[in-house]
Amino acid sequence: MNSTGASTVGASHHKATQLFSLQQRSKYAAKTSLAADRKAKLAKFREAILARKEEVCAAMYADLRRSAATAVSEIMATIADIDLAIAQLDDWMAPEVVEPSPHFAGARAEVRHEARGQVLVLGPWNFPIGLVLQPIVAAIAAGDCVIAKPNEMAPACSAVTAQIVRAAFDERDCAVVEGGVDLANNLLAMPFDHIFFTGSPAVGRLVMAAAAQHLASVTLELGGKSPTIVHADADLASAAGKIAAGRCTNAGQLCLAPDHVWVHRSVSDKLVDELKRAFLRLFFVDGGLNADAVGKLIDARNFARVQGYVSDAVERGARVVFGGEADPEARTLEPTILLDVPLAAKVMQEEIFGPVLPVMVYDDVGEVIDYVQGHGKPLALYVFSQDQAFVERVLSNTSSGGVTINGVILHAAESRLPFGGVNHSGIGRYHGVHGFRELSHQRSIFIPAAMKA
């Protein structure tokens, strides 16, 4: 690192330390803020986001070649969270009265939702704006102070995120710092009350270890290999369209993407044909790949990683039956279908995070259940079937962060449902009131009968 680079890193670390001290002095003012104060902050946040819609779209195209439509959807998910918080915050903040036990007759018991204090938000690179801004909504609604660090791997998105936060908030309430791994480590060494991290399970372990040094609570939004099960009675054309779109959104760099498909042998050939048609319809024009529709891999290292998964699978006996062409210069990989993939192949061991779809065949769903049970609890599980008994068998015998039946990702799009993983795929829940509660401390208050007057 040259002297200029070292100076920049040093300045970022110094700024982060200053911000932490500033918010440490003001966190009780934030904690005691009224619903009206928090709603005013959220309203200003809303204005700052919408005022920079064009800059957000340009940044996402620069970093990930995301279309304007998908970029706007990321913005509007945050706006929806803000609108819901503004509409419901008075109710969320109201103490919950609890009926005392019989032997405490006449006493008063309640639960108050209080701010956790100082919250660190560490954002990911795959959805680099929305997944920083949405946790901020929950934290401000809860009365917390926030320091956010966008991900340096998406530099254009990091810059526009910083612009939005600085335009919307006083640094005492919410601030942003930009930098790389050194800055993240510096922040993790500070005694935050809560850490909200979105990223890989491997880094999530490091974040949790750092939080343990200060006994900070954590929200870890991680990932894993989300399986899709297609039963013999499924609407194959509908299932294929949804799976293809979900697998290749953001070039497959989506923690909720259908990671691999298990399909009943009796309809496996038909499903593969439908998947091919869906990929052609969604991502090709006149037989040629529409690169803008797919997007690009975030960097050369990740491009090589995903290509390596395909090569490893083929070397082990898998077949590429669709796609597979790659453009290293543009960091673009065609939507790719793999068949006959050995379970030992890397593509079946690691989260793919690319537009590659292994299709596996089963005869009895018990085989799939055994596989899912043995490979960690995924962030999502998708089941395509009209048979309620079949669906219930899968749900009863598996565990995952969330589930969508006859669709993909929709459970995460419903802001009134809690979103998050379980064990390997994450800790904690957010979206809507669940984010408010996640970033609040549920404080028990007991008032004896003798004090009621």
Q: Domain 227-413 sits in which CATH superfamily? A: Aldehyde Dehydrogenase; Chain A, domain 2 (3.40.309.10)
CA 352, CA 372: separation in Å to the nearest integer? 16
CA 418, CA 429: separation in Å to the nearest integer? 5
Give 430's DSSP letter: B
Q: What is the pLDDT of residue 190?
A: 97
Picking from 201, 217, 231, the residue whose alpha carbon sits closest to that of residue 142 is 217
For 311, half-sphere exposure in the C-beta direction (CA atoms, 13 angstrom radius) is 8
Place of tokens 């970029």: 71
Q: At what angle do helices 53-64 and 35-51 cross, to 10 degrees?
A: 60
Q: What is the pLDDT of residue 160?
A: 98
Place of tokens 């960097």: 299
Residue type for position 206: L
CA 296 to chain centre: 19
Phi, psi dihedrals of residue 31, rounded to the nearest 5°? -60, -40
CA dihedral 275, 281, 283, 286 (to 10 degrees): 130
Question: Residue 428: helix, strand or coil by DSSP?
Answer: coil
Q: Indicate which residue of 74, 255, 274, 334 is catalytic.
A: 255
CA 406, CA 212: separation in Å to the nearest integer? 40
Domain boundaries, the chain: 3-222+425-451, 227-413
CA 226, CA 224: separation in Å to the nearest integer? 6
Q: Indicate which residue of 74, 178, 221, 351 is catalytic.
A: 221
- Considering the segment(s) 3-222+425-451 as one domain, its CATH architecture is 3-Layer(aba) Sandwich (3.40)
Question: Residue 96: helix, strand or coil by DSSP?
Answer: strand
The pair of structure tokens assigned to 37 is 């104060």
List, in order, residues 6 or more apart from 265 with CB less than 8 Å away: 361, 362, 363
CA 358, CA 363: separation in Å to the nearest integer? 17
Residue type for position 5: G
Q: What is the pLDDT of residue 5?
A: 52
Burial 411-424 (b: 16+ CB within 10 A, else e): bbeebeebbbbbeb
Question: Residue 361: helix, strand or coil by DSSP?
Answer: strand
CA distances from 92 to 27, 142, 265 (A): 20, 9, 49
List, in order, residues 6 or more apart from 365 with CB less than 8 Å away: 229, 231, 264, 390, 393, 394
Phi, psi dihedrals of residue 386, rounded to the nearest 5°? -100, 0
Q: At what angle do helices 388-396 and 365-373 cross, to 10 degrees?
A: 20
CA 241, CA 1: separation in Å to the nearest integer? 48
CA 200, CA 222: separation in Å to the nearest integer? 5
Residue type for position 76: M
Residue count of the chain = 453
Instruction: Note down pLDDT in tens along the chain; length 453 residues.
Output: 554 455 566 778 889 999 999 999 999 999 999 999 999 999 999 999 999 999 999 999 999 999 888 889 889 999 999 999 999 999 999 999 999 999 999 999 999 999 999 999 999 999 999 999 999 999 999 999 999 999 999 999 999 999 999 999 999 999 999 999 999 999 999 999 999 999 999 999 999 999 999 999 999 999 889 999 999 999 999 999 999 999 999 999 999 999 999 999 999 999 999 999 999 999 999 989 999 999 999 999 999 999 999 999 999 999 999 999 999 999 999 999 999 999 999 999 999 999 999 999 999 999 999 999 999 899 999 999 999 999 999 999 999 999 999 999 999 999 899 999 999 999 999 999 999 999 999 999 999 987 654
Picking from 194, 201, 188, the residue whose alpha carbon sits closest to that of residue 421 is 201
pTM of the predicted structure, to 2 decimals: 0.94
The pair of structure tokens assigned to 349 is 């061991």
Phi, psi dihedrals of residue 256, rounded to the nearest 5°? -95, 0
221 is catalytic: yes
Q: What angle do CA 381, 383, 385 make, to 5 degrees?
A: 170
Q: What is the pLDDT of residue 8?
A: 61
CA 315, CA 240: separation in Å to the nearest integer? 27
- Looking at 341-452, list the stretches that DSSP marks H as alpha helix, in order from N- to C-terminal side: 365-373, 388-396, 410-413, 432-438
What DSSP assignment string belongs to 100-166? PPGGGTT-EEEEEEEE--EEEEE--SSSTTHHHHHHHHHHHHHT-EEEEE--TTSHHHHHHHHHHHH
List, in order, residues 6 or more apart from 52 with CB less than 8 Å away: 160, 163, 164, 167
255 is catalytic: yes
Give 421's DSSP letter: -
